[in-house]
Amino acid sequence: MNTYGLLASLKLKSIHGTLPDKVHSIEQDSRKVKQNSLFICIRGFRSDGHAFYSEALKKGATIIVAEEKLAIDHTKHALVIVKDTAKALAILANKYYNYPSKNMTVFGVTGTNGKTTVTTLINQLLQKNNQQAALLGTNGMQLLNESLESNNTTCDVLTNQKLLHKAANLGIDHMVMEVSSHGLDQGRLRGIDFDVVTFTNLTQDHLDYHKTMEHYGNTKGLLFAQLGNNLTQEKNAILNRDDPWYEVYNCMTPYEVISYGIYKDADFRATNITYHVDRTSFTLLSPEGEFTVTTKLIGEFNVYNTIASIASVYARGVISVSDLVTSLSDMDCINGRMQKLEIDAPITIYIDYAHTPDAIEKAIASVYPFKQNRILFVVGTGGDRDESKRPFMAEKASVADYVVLTINDSRYEDTSSILRDMEKGMQHNNYVLIENRKSAIVHVIEESEPGDIIIIAGKGLEEYQIIEGKKQPHSDKKIAVEKCAIKYNLNV
């Protein structure tokens, strides 16, 4: 790309040295720098990109963008000094990739729980109704027949623009994105032109980062502010009418709000809900009339997720509610989200991602309608993350008949301290502490009896654990299936 055209987007800057005519890539990771790259120094939480400019120069960078003067030979390289490299990166990345989000409909989904389920449902609803859609979130990017891994729910600003550009070039006209509070607070979504933004719910999580629920909630609200204020564009906010933050977010956008819920009057409302072990049915009241909805997802929280996804797709005015409801009937459950394992055993096992007090409470509540014997619950939490929620997670888990407290990802924290924090919240003596997650799963299945329901929570479909900063292979599902086969003499 022409260097002068690219840098013209930045107003507050000083240039030292002679700029090359072309820039062949923009990089913020010095390890990815190639010949004629522009390297931008970003101050992160764990490292400062200004410390790696020399490495970038050795690899062929011809332009360094920084917030301070650096020891650079201006006869060979150019230094561009800006006020804020994080904001400069968003501006440059959008310019370099030709503002890809403007060429597609972009859905953004935020909230404490339900983001992965709602985005997956939106993506599937679009695809089943002949729309070219892609998904970017916790499980990486689902782009046509290609899957790309991601380390975060919300990618960094440069990666987001690269992926949006790639999707646009492949003919994708609908992009569905999970939006985390960290991503919003750190500006990873700057420059993305959202068309529909959806709010699921707000409950305690990430207070190690946000410190207060007020800051956490207001950070989520940045997504609604990012819709903009240009009323010549047709945009919508989809809000949970039953959540206390509804009124706050309703005031944050000038665009039309479409509400959904169960208990309060809403544009999309579920009534006459019936729960089964492998499905849920309800009557949907909508702007286009009443419909009977059947989904393979279970639990009240998944009723919310289902109607949120219907309302989100409806907002674009391309697919009728009737067609959306029809599409839902043959859609599979969401992997790792209250996913019932298909095993021929006298027990029922669900794999779930629940790792907040609210999600744990709802996971257990979702199986109570068809409880035959006991509910056994494996619950873990992560190290080096929000410590304040640990006892509350255990407190919510206490309503199960038997609880196994374990670890999700210890990272660098001592596992015994994590378990002690959780143990403080236990309300009964119906529990055991097992640090090793595999051993915890093996134990709960060994303790099971015919008619029991087991929920293994905290990891979902993740196939690794982070221990001492390193990813180690681990699959809750695989361990559960293998142990179940041994205990109940199954052929798997």
Mutual angle of helices 300-314 and 357-367, in 10-degree steps: 110
The class that CATH gives domain 3-96 is: alpha beta
188 is in an annotated binding site: yes
pTM above 0.95, yes or no: no
Largest CA distance in the chain: 78
pLDDT at site 434: 95
Strands (E), 383-463: 402-407, 431-433, 453-457
Give the residue extent of every domain in the chain: 3-96, 100-328, 339-487
* pLDDT for res 182: 78
**Cα separation, 181 vs 200, whole angstroms:** 13
**212 annotated as ligand-binding:** no
Contact by Cβ (8 Å): 306, 118: no
Whole-angstrom distance, CA of residue 268 vs CA of residue 290: 10
CA distance 437 to 405: 9
Is residue 425 a contact partner of residue 394, using CB atoms and an 8 Å limit?
A: yes
**5 annotated as belonging to a binding site for a ligand:** no
Q: Is 286 annotated as a binding residue?
A: no
Is 223 in contact with 179 (CB distance < 8 Å)? Answer: yes
**What one-character-per-residue DSSP string does 137-178 give?**
ETTEEEETTEEE--SSSS--HHHHHHHHHHHHHTT--EEEEE
233 is in an annotated binding site: no
User: Looking at domain 339-487, which CATH architecture does it have?
Assistant: Alpha-Beta Complex (3.90)
Q: What is the pLDDT of residues 208-250, one digit of tens each?
A: 555 677 777 777 788 888 888 889 899 999 999 999 989 999 9
Facing residues of 465 across strands?
472
The alpha helices in 348-405, defined as continuous H runs, are 357-367, 390-397
CB atoms within 10 A of CB 394: 24
Q: What is the pLDDT of residues 181-203, one digit of tens each?
A: 777 877 788 889 999 999 999 87
Handedness of CA 460, 302, 222, 358 (dihedral sign): negative
Q: Which helix (H) or strand (E) holds 96?
A: helix 85-96
* Residues pairing with 212 in the sheet: none
154 is in an annotated binding site: yes
- The tokens of 103 are what? 């060429």
Q: With contact defined as beta carbons under 8 Å apart, do 371 and 453 qualify? A: yes
**CATH architecture observed for domain 100-328:** 3-Layer(aba) Sandwich (3.40)
CA neighbor of 376 nearest in space, from 350, 395, 355, 340 = 350
Check residue 95 and give left, alpha or beta (phi > 0: left; psi -120 to 50: alpha).
Answer: alpha
pLDDT at 149: 66
Amino acid identity, residue 204?
A: Q
- In terms of Cα–Cα distance, which of 198, 265, 264, 188 is closest to 227? 198
CA distances from 148 to 31, 166, 184, 192 (A): 19, 12, 22, 20
Tokens of 160: 């987001």
Below-50 pLDDT ranges, the chain: none
* 132 class by beta-carbon count within 10 Å (0-12 exposed, 13-18 middle, 19+ buried): middle
153 is annotated as contributing to ligand binding: yes
pLDDT for the residue 174: 96
Q: Would the annotation count 295 as a binding residue?
A: no
* Rounded distance between C-alpha atoms, residue 226 and residue 262, angstroms: 27
Q: Is 116 annotated as a binding residue?
A: yes
Q: Is 112 annotated as a binding residue?
A: yes
d(CA 434, CA 418): 11
Within a 10 A sphere around the Cβ of 186, how many other Cβ atoms?
19
Answer for the pair 380, 457: CB distance below 8 angstroms, yes or no: yes
**C-beta of residue 210 within 8 angstroms of C-beta of residue 221:** no
**Cα torsion through 94, 100, 105, 111, rounded to 10:** -40
